[in-house]
Amino acid sequence: FLLNTSSQVRQEFQVLEEQPIGTYVGTIETKPSFTYRFSENHKLFAINGTTGVIYTSSVIDRELLQSDVINVVVLSSQPTYPTEVRIVVLDINDNSPVFPDASIVVSFKEDASSGRQVILDTATDSDIGSNGVDHTTYRIVKGNEQRKFRLDITVNPSGEGAFLHLVSTGGLDREVTPFYQLLIEVEDKGDPKKFGYLQVNVTIQDINDNPPMFEQDQYQTSVFEDIGTVVALLTVSDSDSPTANGNISVSILGGNEQRHFEVHTSSVPNLSLIKVASVLDRERISSYNLTVSVSDNGKPMARSSFASLVIFVNDINDHPPIFQETLYTVDISEDIPKGSYIKGVSATDGDSGQNANLRYSLVSGNALGWFSISENSGLVTSAALLDREIASEIVLNISAKDQGLQPKISYTKLIVNITDVNDQVPTFTQSTYHVSLVEHAPAGTELVMLSASDDDLGANGTIRFSFDAETPASVQELFRLDAMSGRLSTAMELDREDQASYLLHIQAADAGSPPLHSVGKVNITLKDINDNRPVFYPVQYFANVKENEPSGSYVTTVSATDPDLGRNGTVKWGQEGSISLPGAFVHHSRGMQMAESDIEITVYLRVFCISFVSACLLCVSGKLFGSHSLSLSLSLSHSLSLSLSVLWISLIHKSCWQPTSKSLCFSVSHSLSFPPLLSLCFGDAEPPPT
């Protein structure tokens, strides 16, 4: 708008942010022969000094401005009052909602009841008004498949803010799912809408709801009388978190009244050693029956379990180590990291002291260097990354050797079955298949048997073939692809003249989760057959020939097209039938029609061709009753179909004598079942001579 006062003129314009340089803002009032300029240079706007048009000189970002109202002063070349211009920069929806942090961590106890909540920060948007955050649209879009959480939204009455809470719906179990990764989405009110996202990492805190357990309920071993001899290795486990409720301790509750045995901790987690604490006297006590307990020391109440340990006292090294199992088996995934636990093998020795101090080693079967064993504990771990496609089963021969003066040794086997993960991509035997097919082959004609391989097992190595999305649906309809066998065949007859070649993109995908796939190409070329007639254009021709035209004079030109290729499109020109007419004949090599007459005649003939060519028709001089005659002949190639055209030739002559009654005979013969090719009429077009 325009506001005039006694001292100056004020005008106001509006412009959208993010518009290109040169965008029109407004035009101030001008006077003839005046020039105009800003009172000072402006980085965002410029003015045309003659027309008074104000336009943008740079792209304006409203969110970077201190104010969305910009005031400029325009001065003229004459000492008149300045013009004050107020430019309002209008907002567009060019910013997405943003959370203070893209990712946060919250926690819930696994016994949290339904309704337990954690407050979350809400999103903000640099845009304003109708482009700002719509606080009613917060929602969990990923990670809440079990519906363990919901969002509670409390919007301020003004609509400018909200309180957002993540609420537990109950049923949390850390031993089943210790961690959730939720993705929260919010949208703004603009059009089109923009979205903001917050990743919430939810940790489920442990409570002591599981007791620790021994690996066995009963243990049996034997020892010598020596102090410090390892009597037994006790392996325990607790499903609860080690840091919160799994601080496991093992103790002897009964059968150790004389304190001949004591418990020692191990550097291996959850492994305790029972050792001889004082000299044993086999002649006095030949065996012990200990009751051992394991406690997790959890809060508010510790949980425990118990096992019995029977110890026989020996005095000589007459017992070899005995493995708990003669054959160990374990299934592990090929994608486990280096250093992962594989299996714990354990042997006992009926002797005591050094005679029962066992050392474990890998004797054979580890040529790939994938495994290692703890010499003291017998724990087998991975020493390298595994690959099932190299070896799916490893048989490790493990020895346990005591440390007696005449050591005894025992052996066991650990069979490691390496299970498959979907880490191999299906591979086509050829990246591109080239196929040739005769056009109009019947539907169901086999084109190629596609083949692909996948070194994975089971579903991970089961390949299905399908058309890739790069193959248009309209092309897919023309072919059939057997998903199992890879047999590619036609779904209908194909016409080379419609399309000469096809490029199919075929996908080979395994049935793993997630599936892996590769794409191969099939290039199909259609071979031509003679399935199209030559076509004249036009189908009928008219020509006039003057009398006494010299030999070789031009009459007319006929033309035709044939979409077939090679010999299937090669043209041979000719005339249908045979006409006895003086002065007319056909030049077959070039398809030329030549005619001459001393009377007015109309020649109706049909001309055919087999491919695109032009034929010149010529007129020759001569006499009507001379020795020349018109002969129409048929020429075919490869038993091809004919295309016919009509040529009318009119020869006009003014005679200087009276027509006679002498009869003229014209003969027409034709080899195909077409109508007669020649009709003649003649008469004197001028009075007889006087």
Report, as an integer, the average pLDDT of 329-345.
93
| Length of the chain (residues) | 690
In the predicted model, what is the mean pLDDT of residues 614-631? 32
Predicted confidence at residue 399, as pLDDT, reads 96
Q: Give the pLDDT score at 659.
A: 44
Pick the CATH number of 213-313 from 2.60.40.60, 1.10.10.10, 2.60.40.2310, 2.40.70.10: 2.60.40.60
- Position 680 scores a pLDDT of 35
Q: Which fold has domain 535-669?
A: Immunoglobulin-like (2.60.40)
Which of the two residues, 323 and 234, has the higher pLDDT score?
323
* Structure-model confidence comparison of residues 114 and 598, the more confident one: 114
pLDDT (tens digit per residue) in 23-61? 999 999 888 888 888 888 888 899 888 898 999 888 988
Which is nearest to 573 in space by CA: 539, 547, 534?
534
Top CATH class of 427-527 equals mainly beta
* pLDDT value at 231 more than 60: yes
Average pLDDT over residues 384-391: 90
Alpha carbon distance 444, 451 (integer Å): 19
The pLDDT value recorded for residue 465 is 96
Cα 76 versus chain centre, distance: 63
To the nearest whole number, what is the mean pLDDT of the chain?
79
Residue 632 in this model has a pLDDT that exceeds 60: no
- Judged against a pLDDT cut of 50, whether residue 238 lies above it is answered with yes
Q: Please write the tens of the pLDDT for every residue from 472-497.
A: 999 999 999 999 999 999 999 999 98
CB 688 within 8 A of CB 650: no
How far is residue 184's CA from residue 139's CA, in Å, rounded to a whole number? 6
Task: Return the structure tokens found at 160.
Answer: 């400018």
User: What does the pLDDT average to over 525-554?
Assistant: 80
- Which is higher by pLDDT, 69 or 667? 69
Take residue 615 and report the two structure tokens written for it.
């034929």
What are the structure tokens assigned to 432, written together?
Answer: 């591109």
Question: Quick one: what percent of the chain has pLDDT higher than 90?
Answer: 35
CATH domain 103-205 topology: Immunoglobulin-like (2.60.40)
User: Number of C-alpha atoms within 13 angstroms, CB side, residue 196?
Assistant: 28
CATH superfamily, domain 2-90, is Cadherins (2.60.40.60)
Domain 321-419 class in CATH = mainly beta
DSSP 646-687: EEEEEEE---SSPPP------EEE-SSSPPPS-------SSP
Task: From residue 337, give the alpha-carbon distance in Å to each of 82, 343, 344, 653.
Answer: 77, 15, 17, 106
Q: What is the pLDDT of residue 225?
A: 66
pLDDT at 298: 74
Confidence bin at 244 (pLDDT 50/70/90): low
pTM over cut 0.75: no
pLDDT at 683 over 80: no
Highest mean pLDDT among 149-153, 295-299, 315-319, 652-656 belongs to: 149-153
The reported pLDDT for the residue numbered 509 is 93
Helix, strand, or coil (residue 428): strand
Q: Model confidence over 511-529: pLDDT tens digits?
A: 888 999 999 999 999 998 9
| pLDDT of amino acid 422 | 84
Instruction: Give dist(CA 505, CA 466) in Å, integer.
Output: 9
Where in the chain are all domains bearing CATH 2.60.40.60?
2-90, 103-205, 213-313, 321-419, 427-527, 535-669
Over residues 182-191, the pLDDT tens digits come to 999 999 888 8
pLDDT tens by residue, 300-312? 778 888 999 998 8
